[in-house]
Each structure stands twice: as structure tokens, then as C-alpha cells.
Amino acid sequence: MTSRIFLKLCAAVLGVLVLALLAVDFLASRVAETSYYETQTRMLAEKARLISSLGKVDATRIGGLAGAAAARITIIAKDGTVIADSEAEAAKMENHRDRPEVRAALNGQDGSSIRLSPTRNVQYLYVAIPSPPNVIRLAMPLVEVSANVEAIRRRMLASTALAFLIPILVAALIARSVSNRLGRIIEYAAQLAQGNFTPQQLPEATDELGQLGNRLTETAGKLRGMVDALEREHTELEKL
């Protein structure tokens, strides 16, 4: 009886903790993803500004700069024409004037967007900055960003799971104590149901289980008194 109660209590507590862990994982993953995207966007913008400070970037220099920046670099004219690209032939690339990040850069602001690259068929994080008279755009494959986000998520999940170990141990100890007390009360109630009205001394406590045990003990005492009184009356009637 006690073991079954203990297992049920442990299962309930474990279920709650698992749900809490899943909630933490979901919320932390969203926060980590958003934070990482924002960080990468700022880093790409800073790299683009550093490249802009180097002066004119043409096809002969763009490959080396892209390697140093660990990002794809695209130089775009104010009419949207691609002047140079580190991973594709500029002459074969379509006009970029309508790209969201390019539009923002042409209006004098930093721009960013996430979408599928038509030349590489890969999801990219794009960041563009104004570099008069042109626009400098850096891009990073989302597969790299997603891999880093997943690594952060795993570390956060592992840390949260470790933090849950102490609550799990404490909950197991509490469940063991409650199951032992509840098991004794159930066994006592079963004895009362079978007609054994001998009062028993249950562990004293002021909580609900303690109050229940006290009520059972009081009930047993009253029933014992009633049985004794009936037996005395029966004995007197037999004498008469």
C-alpha cells in the first residue's frame, strides 16, 4: 500500500517537473534564438561598417574580405544592381533594390531580413548598411545560426535539468514521508472497518494528515466506548 502511494506521488511530482522543464525549454529556446539572432545581426552590421571603412571593395578584394568576416559579402549600387558578390557572379544576379534590407540601407538605415537565397537555395540572415554611394550587405547561412542556437539550447536545458535534481530529491523525501503516514492511516481505517476499535497512537502532526489521524483515533475511542457499553448492557440483560 505504502509503496503504491509513494510511486503515485513520485509520478505526480515528476510529471509536474517534466512539464516545468518543457516549459522552461520552450521559453528559453525562444529567448536564446531571439537573442542570438539579434547578436549576429549586430555583429554582421559591425563587420559591414568595418569593410565600408576600408574604402572601395571590388571583385578582386571581396573574396578575401568575406573569408576574414566569415560571411557572404555583396556590394550593391544605389539602383539595386549587384556590383560584386563573394559567392556568385554579380552579372548573373538579379536586381536587389526590392530586398527589404537593401531598401532600408538605401534609405540610410541598417536593414536585416531572413529568407531563402535564390542563388544558393539556402536560408540566410541578411544585414545591409549604407556605404555611399553603394550598399554593403553581409549574409550568414541560417544553418550555422540554428546550430549555435541549438547548442545554447542544449546547455540551458542541461543546466535546468541539473537545477531540478535537488527539488526532485526533496520531493521524493516528502513523498516518502507522506506515503508512510497516509499508508498507516489507511491501514488504521481498514482495521476500524473490520471492527477493531482499539485506539492507536499515530504520529502527531498539525497538518491535514495529522488531523485526519486524530479524528480516526477519536472515532475509534468513541466506538470502543459504545461497544463496551453495549456489552455491559447485554451482560446485565442476561443476568435479568
pLDDT tens readout for residues 108-135: 999 999 988 877 788 899 999 999 999 9
pLDDT of residue 187: 73
Whether pTM > 0.75 for this model: the answer is: no
Using CA atoms of 17, 18, 20, 23 in order, give the dihedral in degrees to the nearest 10: 170
pLDDT of residue 54: 87
Using CA atoms of 229, 232, 234, 237 in order, give the dihedral in degrees to the nearest 10: -130
pLDDT of residue 213: 66
pLDDT of residue 101: 95
What does the domain layout of the chain look like in residue ranges?
2-24+150-239, 34-143
pLDDT of residue 224: 73
pLDDT of residue 48: 94
pLDDT of residue 2: 59
The H or E element that residue 223 is part of is helix 208-239
Q: Quick one: fold of 34-143?
A: Beta-Lactamase (3.30.450)
pLDDT of residue 208: 65
Dihedral pair phi/psi, residue 86, rounded to 5° = -80, -10
pLDDT of residue 24: 72
pLDDT of residue 79: 94
How far apart (Å, rounded) are the C-alpha atoms in residues 236 and 240? 6
pLDDT of residue 88: 87
Q: Are 107 and 83 in contact, with CB atoms under 8 Å apart?
A: no
Rg value, the chain, Cα: 37
Residue numbers of the chain with a pLDDT score lower than 70: 1-6, 9, 144-146, 188, 192-193, 197-214, 240
